[in-house]
């Protein structure tokens, strides 16, 4: 159906209510497996590069590169690529649809990761780390918007948080993979195999993802209401057959002025003029978690190498941290739907910040070993991981449908740029000094930003638990319902 840039008509639909009242089914599991697994890839990428930093810097690795360049420069370029990719692909996701973009961004990731494995010089390695990040950043916008629009509102909080937390399954896998790859292969081979494994996993995800549908919410706003209705009809039939139930017709409907796309001007106006408090909230949550995570994730192997002389078995330590990170969202996730968003988000942010300040003090006193530091981090990140996952949930549900992907991209890009580009660069230099006080200072900066973000959530947070997306933020295209 051809569509112009102007409004294409007005339609009254029950699609959002029909999707929200669906019981949990195999169809929902397909969405989670096809879309949610991308965070495992991101975790794999970031962790592999962190744990390979010492190995890549060794003579004979095939690259003339220092450990600081790997943890600092390459890490910062990956994050910069992710920021730009989120903005670029986020805009395209709102314009051309969720499905088209979550297929394209995965292909970008696959090509860039394969090229990283074939690196022959530092500049090539830097270039394709940037492009890998570009693809992953685009994934965040396309995937989070699609998941939120396809998952029933009563499950949305826990599912979104657990999926975002699955990053740490990839991190654990990446950490454990690097141990045999570093110890059993030549110095110029092991790291190439590590990146090659990312390509294999990405191809498997791409095959599953082909069966995930376009968001019906996106379809009916963009003039494809018949397609949206047909898609929801098919899903309902599948669920009714599986569950052996007859679904009741919901009473709620909404009327939409259909349109093809929304310009940057209206997106900016929506966020700054219509929802200024929500914009401050999103920015605060993202800066806090981005600085903490990007700084420490890229630098943890460097801490072990610099202070505890551990450089080939860092993967074991990081895998323990990664497990703590995944257990946080897994065990605390349901509470974000039952206890509520505001108490859980503020609690996890402030709690992890206070615990991290304690860890910084102990580290500065010189009383921690590699094992006890890892144990402290595991506890800190149990709470921080649930909070950080909730940051993605928050910005994906508190802005109107038409700007959802762009809102996710905007906060991810700004927060990650502030915390993620500055973080690794500052952190690697602080650790390189070899002074415990410098590393404790980096810990304290991350902790302070987490506590500040938790306080912002207490005052500006949105009670979004168990509410439909259209109830939390009315679509810009919405018209008064016809009686």
Strand partners, 11: 256
Q: Running DSSP on this structure, what letter comes out for residue 270?
A: I
Average pLDDT of the residues in 201-210 = 86
Residue 101 backbone dihedrals phi, psi, to 5 degrees: -80, -35
Residues 71 and 48: beta-carbon distance below 8 Å: no
- Matching CATH number, 262-482, of 3.20.20.120, 1.10.3720.10, 3.70.10.10, 1.20.1250.20: 1.20.1250.20
Of residues 143 and 454, the one with the higher pLDDT is 454
The answer, yes or no, to whether residue 5 has pLDDT greater than 70, is no
User: Distance between CA 146 and CA 447 in Å, rounded?
Assistant: 32
Q: Which two tokens stand for residue 412?
A: 């991810």
Residue 153's alpha-carbon distances to 41, 89, 218, 303, 465, in angstroms, are 26, 25, 17, 42, 8
State pTM to two decimals. 0.84
The percent of residues above 90 in pLDDT, for the chain, comes to 43
Quick one: pLDDT at residue 312?
A: 63
Total Cβ atoms within 10 A of residue 122: 17
- Lowest mean pLDDT: which of 29-38, 351-360, 467-476? 29-38
Check whether 324 has a pLDDT greater than 60.
yes
Report yes or no: 444 and 360 within 8 Å, Cβ to Cβ.
yes
Tens of pLDDT, residues 425-477:
777 777 777 788 888 888 888 899 999 999 999 999 999 999 999 999 998 88
Give the residue-averaged pLDDT of 300-320.
76
CB crowding 423-445: b at 16 or more within 10 Å, else e? bbbbbbebbbeeebebbbebbbb
- Give the CA count within 13 Å in the CB-facing half-sphere of 24: 7
Convert the pLDDT of each residue in 228-281 to its tens digit: 999 999 999 999 999 998 999 998 898 988 776 666 777 788 888 999 999 999
- Residue-averaged pLDDT of the chain: 86
Q: Which helix (H) or strand (E) holds 257?
A: strand 254-258
Mean pLDDT of 74-103: 89
Q: Is the pLDDT of residue 332 over 70?
A: yes
- Tell me how far CA of residue 456 lies from CA of 103, 285, 288, 310, 356, in angstroms: 36, 8, 11, 39, 19
Concatenating the DSSP letter of every residue in 98-115 gives HHHHHHHHHHHHHHHHHH
pLDDT exceeds cutoff 90 at 358? yes
Judged against a pLDDT cut of 50, whether residue 399 lies above it is answered with: yes
CA nearest to 221, candidates 482, 468, 475, 405: 475
Q: What's the CATH superfamily of 14-241?
A: MFS general substrate transporter like domains (1.20.1250.20)
Q: Where are the domains of the chain?
A: 14-241, 262-482
Measure Cα distances from 328 to 10, 324, 334, 441, 446 in Å: 44, 6, 11, 25, 19
Contact call for residues 439 and 363 (beta carbons, < 8 A):
yes
pLDDT at 380: 93
**pLDDT given for residue 4 in this prediction:** 33
Percent of the chain with pLDDT over 70: 93
Which pair of tokens denotes residue 380?
């800190």
Determine the Cα–Cα distance for residues 391 and 142; give it in Å rounded to an integer. 16
- Average pLDDT of the residues in 115-140: 92
Q: Which of 175-179, 298-302, 415-419 has the lowest mean pLDDT?
A: 298-302
pLDDT at 319: 80
Q: Is the pLDDT of residue 155 over 90?
A: yes
Residue 391's pLDDT is what?
A: 94
279: its two tokens:
């914009």
Fold match, 14-241 / 262-482: yes
- SS3 (DSSP) at 52: helix
Q: What is the mean pLDDT of residues 6-29?
A: 87
Any alpha helices (H) in 118-189, and if so which ranges? Answer: 122-150, 153-165, 167-184
Integer Cα distance of 128 and 427 in angstroms: 22
């Amino acid at each position: 159906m051809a569509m112009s840039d102007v409004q294409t008509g007005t339609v009254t639909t029950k699609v959002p209510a029909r999707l929200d009242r669906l019981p949990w089914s195999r169809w929902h599991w397909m969405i989670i497996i096809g879309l949610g697994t991308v965070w495992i890839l991101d975790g794999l990428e970031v962790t592999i590069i962190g744990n390979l930093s010492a190995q890549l810097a060794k003579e004979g690795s095939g690259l003339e590169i220092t450990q600081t360049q790997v943890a600092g420069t390459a890490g910062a370029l990956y994050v910069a690529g992710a920021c730009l990719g989120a903005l670029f692909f986020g805009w395209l996701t709102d314009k051309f649809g969720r499905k088209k973009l979550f297929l394209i961004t995965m292909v970008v990731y696959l090509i860039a990761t394969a090229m990283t494995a074939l690196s022959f010089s530092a500049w090539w390695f830097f270039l394709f780390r940037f492009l890998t990040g570009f693809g992953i950043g685009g994934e965040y916008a396309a995937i989070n918007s699609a998941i939120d629009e396809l998952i029933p509102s009563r499950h949305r909080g826990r599912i979104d948080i657990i999926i975002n937390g699955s990053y740490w399954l990839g991190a654990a896998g990446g950490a454990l993979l690097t141990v045999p790859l570093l110890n059993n292969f030549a110095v110029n081979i092991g790291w190439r195999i590590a990146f090659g494994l990312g390509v294999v996993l990405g191809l498997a995800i791409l095959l599953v993802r082909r069966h995930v549908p376009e968001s019906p919410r996106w379809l009916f706003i963009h003039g494809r209401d018949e397609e949206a209705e047909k898609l929801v009809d098919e899903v309902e039939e599948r669920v009714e057959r599986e569950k052996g139930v007859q679904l009741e017709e919901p009473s709620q409907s909404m009327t939409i002025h259909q349109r093809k796309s929304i310009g940057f001007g209206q997106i900016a106006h929506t966020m700054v003029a219509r929802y200024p408090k929500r914009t401050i909230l999103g920015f605060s949550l993202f800066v806090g978690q981005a600085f903490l995570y990007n700084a420490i994730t890229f630098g943890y192997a460097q801490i072990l190498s610099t202070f505890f002389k551990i450089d080939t078995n860092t993967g074991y330590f990081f895998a323990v941290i990664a497990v703590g990170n995944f257990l946080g969202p897994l065990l605390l996730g349901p509470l974000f739907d039952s206890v509520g968003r505001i108490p859980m988000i503020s609690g996890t942010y402030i709690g992890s910040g206070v615990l991290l300040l304690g860890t910084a003090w102990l580290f500065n006193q010189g009383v921690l070993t590699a094992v006890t530091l890892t144990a402290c981090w595991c506890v800190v990140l149990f709470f921080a991981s649930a909070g950080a996952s909730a940051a993605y949930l928050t910005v994906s549900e508190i802005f109107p449908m038409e700007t959802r992907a762009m809102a996710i991209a905007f906060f991810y890009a700004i927060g990650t740029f502030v915390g993620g580009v500055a973080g690794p660069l500052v952190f690697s230099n602080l650790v390189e000094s070899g002074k415990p006080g410098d590393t404790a200072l980096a810990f304290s900066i991350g902790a302070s930003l987490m506590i500040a973000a938790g306080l912002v959530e207490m005052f500006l947070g949105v009670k979004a638990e168990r509410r439909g997306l259209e109830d939390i933020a009315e679509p810009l295209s919405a018209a008064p319902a016809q009686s």
